[in-house]
Amino acid sequence: MRAVVFVGNGEVSVESVTDPAIADPGDAVVRVRRAAVCGTDLHTVAHAEHVPRGTVLGHEFAGDVVEVGPAVTGHRVGDRVVGADFTACGRCWWCRRGDHWECADRRFFGTGAAFGPALAGAQAELVRVPFADTVLRPVPADVDLDAAVFLGDTLATGYAAVRRCGLTPGDTVVVIGGGPVGQLTSLAAQACGAGIVVVVEPVDERRELAVRQGALGSVPDGTRQLVDEVTDGRGADAVIDAIGGPRGLETAFALVRRRGTIVSVGVHADPPWPLPVAAAFADELTLRFAIGDVMRDGDALVGLLRSGAVDPTVVASETVGLDGVPDAYRRMAQRRTLKSLIAL
């Protein structure tokens, strides 16, 4: 089969690789119909210490089941499915609580050994899916695959962030970052009852997209003034950091109200960060982190799509074939596009 592979020096290529096969009784093989290029993919190829050359990349996918192992009971050949971006056994103490990310059998598609043992990715014609009954979710006939592909990561992450906020109707929510995760976090917050959502983004086109989708847009330097205007000077009830790193957290602490909540879903590569603990204690702040999980939140996520409350395809800048993926990586890295879908 053909697949997108890491070839070193921050570059990817489309190559012929061995077809995946059933290796364990709980496996399935999925013919990929839609995949996507994600910010995590860009980070993977730019910081590839855990990613050997030849790794098949990609972790967002939807398609058709073409083969199942003898232990798979929830899916049949021909089913339309979407995959989570990582695996979990579905049976352990963590999985039974819905904490699939903590499962000892976690493997993240297409990222080498960065988040567990390596597992070939889904920017390919076929992908092997361990623990298929847990990792795969049926896609209803009335949900387009262009929308379904966002369930495995981008929309799941935005929704997890909103739920982690403990949002109550009418709350003012600030989302830091207008990339794909930030945009879908804004839509999820609106769908879940937020009163005012502010998206903080320096790039004009991304900020304008957020405004068209119902949020207030703000450049970073003007955000505190805007938040004060809409909250009578209190600050935001919740701030969601969708960029990661010290800048996202520092901005969040500057915008949240006393007794407010900060949730970070941006990837953090720097181990230490000086938490402003005195202010956090005095203001009774809550700081939380979240990782998207369609295995846990699939019913709600599918419901958001089927009801029309959220249309994740608004962040899709382009759709390319497999041969167009290397250039799509470059365009996304240069911030010339927001999100690239892959049609196979």
Domain boundary among 269, 289, 309: 289
What is the rounded CA–CA span in Å between residue 283 and residue 219? 26
State whether 40 and 120 are in the same domain. yes
State whether 113 and 192 are in the same domain. no
Q: With beta carbons less than 8 A apart as the criterion, state whether 108 and 85 touch.
A: yes
What is the rounded CA–CA span in Å between residue 82 and residue 267? 23
State whether 166 and 54 are in the same domain. no
State whether 225 and 114 are in the same domain. no
Matching residue, tokens 């609106």: 190
What is the rounded CA–CA span in Å between residue 38 and residue 241? 17
What is the rounded CA–CA span in Å between residue 151 and residue 60? 8
State whether 240 and 174 are in the same domain. yes
State whether 54 and 149 are in the same domain. yes
Instruction: Report which of 290, 282, 258 is spatially closest to residue 175, judged by C-alpha positions.
Output: 290
What is the rounded CA–CA span in Å between residue 230 and residue 216? 10
- CB atoms near residue 303 (< 10 Å): 13
State whether 91 and 215 are in the same domain. no
Q: How far is CA 296 from CA 20, 59, 290, in A?
A: 26, 17, 13
pLDDT score at 100: 98
Using a pLDDT cut of 70, give the percent of the chain over it. Answer: 100
State whether 133 and 208 are in the same domain. no
**Average pLDDT per consecutive 10 residues, the chain (344 residues; last block may be shorter):** 96 98 98 96 91 97 98 98 98 98 98 95 98 98 97 98 96 98 98 98 97 98 97 98 93 98 89 91 97 98 97 98 97 95 98
Domain boundary among 289, 309, 335: 289
Residue 118 belongs to a domain with what CATH number?
3.90.180.10
Q: Which domain holds residue 282?
A: 159-289
What is the rounded CA–CA span in Å between residue 339 and residue 179? 8
Number of H helices, E strands in the chain: 12, 15
Q: What is the pLDDT of residues 21-39, one digit of tens each?
A: 999 999 999 999 999 999 9
Phi, psi of 174 (to 5 degrees): -110, 130
pTM of the model: 0.96
Angle between helices 325-333 and 39-46 (to 10 degrees): 90
Q: What is the pLDDT of residues 78-116, one digit of tens each?
A: 999 999 999 999 999 999 999 999 999 999 999 999 999
State whether 149 and 207 are in the same domain. no
State whether 127 and 257 are in the same domain. no
DSSP single-letter state for residue 165: T
Residue 153 exposed, middle or buried by CB count within 10 Å (0-12, 13-18, 19+):
buried
End-to-end CA distance of the chain, in Å? 12
Report the DSSP pairing between strands 172-176 and 196-200: parallel
What is the rounded CA–CA span in Å between residue 151 and residue 143? 11
State whether 94 and 168 are in the same domain. no
Residue 173 belongs to a domain with what CATH number?
3.40.50.720
Question: What is the number of domains present in the chain?
Answer: 2
Got the DSSP string for 45-89?
HHS-TT--TTPBP---EEEEEEEE-TT--S--TT-EEEE-SB---
Q: With beta carbons less than 8 A apart as the criterion, state whether 89 and 154 touch.
A: no
What is the rounded CA–CA span in Å between residue 23 and residue 68? 10
What is the rounded CA–CA span in Å between residue 276 and residue 288? 14
Q: What is the pLDDT of residues 199-240, one digit of tens each?
A: 999 999 999 999 999 999 999 999 999 999 999 999 999 999
What is the rounded CA–CA span in Å between residue 279 and residue 257? 11
Matching residue, tokens 């901005």: 251
Domain boundary among 289, 309, 324: 289
State whether 213 and 77 are in the same domain. no
